[in-house]
Amino acid sequence: MTPQDRERIGEYVLGLLEGSDAQDFEARLASEPELAAAVAKLRAQLQTLDDTAGELPVDPALWQRIAAHLDVPEDEQAQPAPLRPANDNRWTRRLGMAASILVALAVGYLTGTNLTTSRQPVMIAVLLTEDGSEPGAIVEAFADDTIRLVPLDLTARPADRVYQVWTLPDPETGPVSMGIFDDPATLSLSGPDLPPPEPGQLYEITLEPSGGSPTGRPTGPILVKGFAKSPL
């Protein structure tokens, strides 16, 4: 399968192919079993991410902030599009740079890699704000007690506070720190010797004093939290 085919599969599953391009691709699906199998595989993998967090109402202000970054005309910012699964072919609106990012993610899933490393996470968690209204971060958990954290929209921290990442591998032993960070940028963190991450395992980010929690347990407010789900 060529790189062009993989990109086309990503565009099709994400609903970004339109008109004759979509028709031509669907004609190929009818005659190319390998291509059809790849489409089915990617849909199943992305469905895992769809299921990680329930469908929630979107604050119109969030859509306006996204639209402002994407240079969407004001008359198209008034109403967000209806929520649909990521692999629903009825979603045909192109969103410029955002669409390119989605395709890159899709191709990464299809080829068995993510965007920054050849390692495969064993669990993925989407961390939501306490009221469940917005995603604040994504956690990729690996089998070697490390995580890759992708902050999306974290509350700004005071100068005397740091972000601290926690996980709960065993409710009987309590939460375990995976590390602290100052700046909301993609980073890798290494925790202590832990059991392999499991589906449903809790991950959360709190605000803590400089240097991290003095008690070894969360003491500050919970900014975002979510539960792990297998990406396969």
For residue 181, the model assigns a pLDDT of: 93
Instruction: Write out pLDDT tens, residues 184-202.
Output: 888 888 878 788 899 999 9
Residue bearing the bigger pLDDT, 113 or 213: 213
Residue 171: pLDDT band (50, 70, 90) is: confident
* pLDDT tens profile 132-147: 777 888 888 988 888 9
User: What's the pLDDT at 62?
Assistant: 64
pLDDT score for 68: 63
Q: Please give the share of the chain, as a percent, with pLDDT higher than 70.
A: 66
pLDDT at 202: 94
What does the pLDDT look like over 26-70, one tens digit per residue? 888 888 888 888 887 777 666 655 555 555 566 666 666 666 655
The whole-number pLDDT of residue 64 equals: 66
Record the pTM.
0.53
What residues have CB less than 8 Å from 176, skipping those under 6 apart?
166, 167, 168, 169, 191, 192, 194
The domains of the chain, with CATH numbers, are 3-111 (no CATH), 123-227 (2.60.40)
pLDDT band at 175 (very low <50, low <70, confident <90, very high): very high
